Amino acid sequence: MLVFDQLKKQDSQLRLVAMVLAAGFCVLLAGLWYVQVFSSKRFADSLEDQAVRSVRIPAVRGKVLDRNGQPLAENRPTYNVELYLAELGKHFHAEYLRIRPASVRTRAEREQLEWSARYNVVSNITAQVSDWLQQPQVIDQKKFQRHYNEVRALPISILQNLNASQVARFAERPGVFPGLDLEIQPLRVYPHGSLAAHVLGSLTRDESSQEEEDAFYHYRLPDWKGVTGMEGVFDGQLRGAAGTKSMTVNRLGYRQQETMLRAPEPGDNLVLTLDFKLQRAVEAALVSSMFGAQTRGAAVVMDVQTGDVLAMASAPTFEPIEFMGRISTEHWTNVLNHPIQKPMLNRAAQENYHPGSILKMLTALAALEMEKLDPMEIFNVEADPERPGKGCIYVGNRKIKDTVANGPYNFKKALMHSSNSYFIYHGLKPGVLQKIIMLGEKFHLGERTGILPRQETAGEFPDQTDLVRRWQPGDTANLCIGQGKVSVSPLQIAVMTSAIANGGKVFWPRLVLRLEPSDPQFGEKVSEFPPRVRDDLGVKPENLRLIHEAMLAEVEEAGGTGSGAIIKGLKIGGKTGTAEIEQGGKIVDKTTWFASFAPVDRPKWAVIVMVESGASGGKTCAPIAKLIYEALQKRERDAGQKNSALASLN
């Protein structure tokens, strides 16, 4: 009331203040009315048009390393020119006005003009940037339209994989074109091309959520998933944990702002048992055969004391990087899916082959264990009347040819010359077949090792139930020489040969040493994969010694079928094999083998070589094995020199 009393006294200054306050109050009321009433619909529409979108950010994929830390698969930064469409609004409108005719009759015509204007702007910018950076590029209309309709809040990539000079040129003139930015993204690379491709495997584009990730995202940035090989088996560990950011977009779908909610965690590094230099030497040796680059075969090198796969090669091979882009139908049909060459097939583990004479190691061990074979006893191979100078054996009314001359043979001579008659004769003795099957079960023939799930064959090997199902003496004869109802992979033969070499321990083949964090700051522990013994043969050491001596003779003594592998100063025990492939009663092809280990007096390595359509195990595969053993010798010398150098420093 005091204020009104003062106003009644005609106080001009006070009345002025009151009028100013009243005017301000009226303005405030008018503003509130404007916002709350007059503009309410516009603000409501604006709020409805704005939205928050979640974006999945892939993690950096872990590396795949050899046992010495040499990268077999890694990531390198790739520099891409990205174009943000949100910054081109006025350019879209200007282009629309430029191309718009005097009259636009329908909404469809207007929308088509708007689309053409947007494409013209983006296409022109792409052409100018391409010319500026000297990397020809044309923006695909369908790709642009799909991007604009589905993920316009994200930038569109117009140039990829810039080199150093292009990056420098772009950095010299930032902002020369609207909406452009240089972004760095990790790119999966295989620095040694096709090396160990079947072990490493391949990737495919896949942005789907993994376990323990959010299932729903509005947008997903490009990501990759392992399909085959180690990339597939350990995809979850290599892929890491994706991150998340939130993005506010306006009613036109353009990005307004973004916030990182969770940073991606890089994947673990995978350390394999492979030796990079040895793998390279094995692959080179494999294609040094009579077929050269057209060789169809496989080679496996295994540490007989641990089961470590030091090298595993398959020929022909492929480039893993090919599967990270578009593969033409012609290239897939004529190269990657060729019906004969089959480069995608891992012949070391994924294909079945008759083992041929290399299975005589098993036949011999079974006969020796059953005491049905006296190594000094002489067996006379019968002459083949139809082939002068060659032997044969009759099983019932069936004649089985022998590759050796007729005449007297003891155990060592029969193995080193690979006599069919000798091993069939002893394999048909009572109890030997059952022992062959029992030892085959100990070697786990006919079973997968689990080393490469979905890329490994179990093979075929008879069990005890097969003996009561139409099993004939001819089946036994075939089994004794690795023909008929038996098929194996080179990896299985590597396991078998390693067990014969090391005294009877059957290892699970090991391809992974450990998983280790690629970034120690995440505090993850290293996961080790120790060697594992799968079984024990439980055979007499003296019987294994007899087989070792005979295998050594096959390589070193005159007339031995494995002489092509002989190396001065290295005692190699080997067994050659040539398995016939029959169709319609005719021999249409053959598989050649050389199974070996060294040194015989202190076994370290098993080397298995298989070549399809080879001349023979001795002529085709043994020389390849020789090259591999020379690489193993060099590996040992290099390791010795390195250890000596370290010792001298200490």
Stretch 303-324: mean pLDDT: 95
Most confident of 48-62, 216-230, 345-359: 345-359
Stretch 186-190: mean pLDDT: 91
pLDDT at 79: 87
Instruction: Report which of 370, 514, 532, 513 is spatially closest to residue 435, judged by C-alpha positions.
Output: 370
- Judged against a pLDDT cut of 60, whether residue 190 lies above it is answered with yes
pLDDT at 205: 86
CA distances from 108 to 15, 111, 144, 169, 419 (A): 63, 5, 19, 42, 85
- In whole angstroms, what is the distance from residue 374 CA to residue 623 CA? 32
- In whole angstroms, what is the distance from residue 453 CA to residue 227 CA? 11
- Judged against a pLDDT cut of 60, whether residue 43 lies above it is answered with no
262 located within any domain? yes
233 located within any domain? yes
- Judged against a pLDDT cut of 80, whether residue 218 lies above it is answered with no
357: domain CATH number is 3.40.710.10
pLDDT-derived band at 34 (thresholds 50, 70, 90) equals low
pLDDT at 351: 95
Of 245, 272, 299, which marks where a domain is finished?
272
Residue pLDDT, tens place only, 395-437: 999 999 999 999 999 999 999 999 999 999 999 999 999 999 9
Stretch 76-91: mean pLDDT: 86
Contact predicate 597/498, CB 8 Å: yes
Helix axes 432-443, 360-369, angle to 10 degrees: 120
- 265 plus 364 within the same structural domain: no
CA distances from 51 to 249, 263, 395, 573 (A): 6, 22, 83, 73
- 296 plus 330 within the same structural domain: yes
Give the strand pairing for 203-205 and 224-226.
antiparallel
- 289 plus 156 within the same structural domain: no
Q: What is the mean pLDDT of the chain?
A: 89
- 298 plus 153 within the same structural domain: no
pLDDT at 469: 78
- In whole angstroms, what is the distance from residue 329 CA to residue 338 CA? 12
The model's pTM is 0.86
Of 272, 306, 337, which marks where a domain is finished?
272
The SS3 of residue 401 is: strand
Residue pLDDT, tens place only, 503-527: 999 999 999 999 999 877 766 788 9
* Better-scored residue on pLDDT, 209 or 142: 142
- In whole angstroms, what is the distance from residue 115 CA to residue 107 CA? 12
Look at the chain and count its residues.
650
pLDDT at 402: 96
- 601 plus 563 within the same structural domain: yes
- 433 plus 503 within the same structural domain: yes
Residue pLDDT, tens place only, 551-563: 999 999 999 999 9
14 located within any domain? no
Stretch 297-305: mean pLDDT: 98
- 331 plus 206 within the same structural domain: no
- 255 plus 331 within the same structural domain: no
- Name the region of 290 (left: φ>0; alpha: ψ -120 to 50; beta: rest): alpha
pLDDT at 48: 47
Residue pLDDT, tens place only, 567-610: 999 999 999 999 999 888 788 999 999 999 999 999 999 999 99
Q: Is 115 exposed, middle or buried (0-12, 13-18, 19+ CB in 10 A)?
A: middle
Q: Can you tell me which residue has the tokens 């995440």?
A: 522
Q: Encode 196-216: b = buried (16+ Cβ within 10 Å), e = exposed.
A: bbbbbbbbeebeeeeeeeeee
- 406 plus 328 within the same structural domain: yes
Residue 629: give the domain boundaries: 276-517+538-646
pLDDT-derived band at 373 (thresholds 50, 70, 90) equals very high
- In whole angstroms, what is the distance from residue 198 CA to residue 349 CA? 10
- Which residue type is seen at 288? S
11 located within any domain? no
How many separate domains does the chain show?
2
* Better-scored residue on pLDDT, 204 or 53: 204
pLDDT at 445: 97
- Which residue type is seen at 470? R
Of 239, 272, 305, which marks where a domain is finished?
272
Bond prior to 408 in cis (omega within 30° of 0): no
302 located within any domain? yes
284 located within any domain? yes
- 261 plus 338 within the same structural domain: no
Query: Sheet harboring 586-598: ordered strands across?
Result: 309-315, 297-303, 605-612, 586-598, 573-583
- 491 plus 632 within the same structural domain: yes
The proportion of the chain whose per-residue pLDDT surpasses 70, expressed as a percent, equals 92
37 located within any domain? no
CA distance between the termini of the chain: 99
Give the strand pairing for 605-612 and 573-583.
unpaired
Stretch 269-274: mean pLDDT: 98
- 147 plus 280 within the same structural domain: no
150: domain CATH number is 3.90.1310.10
Query: Sheet harboring 243-249: ordered strands across?
Result: 219-220, 51-57, 243-249, 255-262
Stretch 288-300: mean pLDDT: 93
pLDDT-derived band at 273 (thresholds 50, 70, 90) equals very high
pLDDT at 6: 56
- In whole angstroms, what is the distance from residue 574 CA to residue 565 CA? 8
Stretch 261-278: mean pLDDT: 93
Stretch 636-646: mean pLDDT: 85
pLDDT at 287: 95
pLDDT-derived band at 47 (thresholds 50, 70, 90) equals very low
33 located within any domain? no
